[in-house]
């Protein structure tokens, strides 16, 4: 396992890069200068989706052996989405441990690898909001609603967006 300093240097570098040149709709950084392993994020809902106009807070928690292992990303509060567990934790390939998928849903190259970074993770999550993967759902109720009654799914998400904005 690499020394903690390696992970801290990598996280500091990624934070500096994001501060300099963040993708549109993404704000992220460490909760405190004393702990680079816990970040707060704000993700804007992608245009043309029911999440549009929403601003969704999330927390990224990095393991001590980052970047060898992936961080966990959790929306706080949870949002309705097929690939987000009821507790808010995001379930997408890029955040799954490296190697072969024991369930054989994902190819190894879709899963975490040390070449990934915070920006790629957050862009992948924004893409996931636009295009859920209902074949590999984390929230079965959201998957069923999305598949069986898209209109009701979208209305629920829009209602959650309005609530999150205090409207």
CATH fold of 6-164: Ubiquitin Conjugating Enzyme (3.10.110)
User: Pick the catalytic residue: 7, 90, 91, 161?
Assistant: 91
Q: Provide the pLDDT confidence category of residue 3 given band limits of 50, 70 and 90.
A: very low
Residue 40 has pLDDT above 90, yes or no: yes
Q: Report the C-alpha gap between 52 and 34 in whole angstroms.
A: 34
Q: How does pLDDT run across 75-86, given as a tens digit for each residue?
A: 999 999 999 999
91 is catalytic: yes
Predicted TM-score (pTM) of this structure:
0.87
Residue 44 has pLDDT above 90, yes or no: yes
């Amino acid at each position: 396992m690499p020394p903690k300093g390696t992970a801290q240097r990598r996280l500091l570098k990624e934070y500096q890069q994001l501060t300099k040149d963040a993708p549109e709709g993404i704000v992220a950084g460490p909760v405190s200068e004393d702990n680079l392993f816990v970040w707060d994020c704000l993700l804007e809902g992608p245009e043309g989706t029911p999440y549009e106009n929403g601003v969704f807070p999330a927390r990224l928690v990095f393991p001590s052996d980052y970047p060898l292992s992936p961080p966990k990303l959790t929306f706080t509060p949870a949002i309705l989405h097929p690939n987000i567990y009821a507790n808010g934790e995001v379930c997408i390939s890029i955040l799954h441990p490296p190697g072969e998928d024991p369930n054989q849903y994902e190819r190894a190259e879709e899963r975490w690898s040390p070449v990934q970074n915070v920006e790629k993770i957050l862009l992948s999550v924004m893409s996931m909001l636009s295009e859920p993967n209902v074949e590999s759902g984390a929230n079965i109720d959201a998957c069923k609603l999305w598949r069986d009654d898209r209109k009701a799914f979208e209305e629920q998400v829009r209602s959650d967006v309005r609530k999150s904005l205090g409207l």
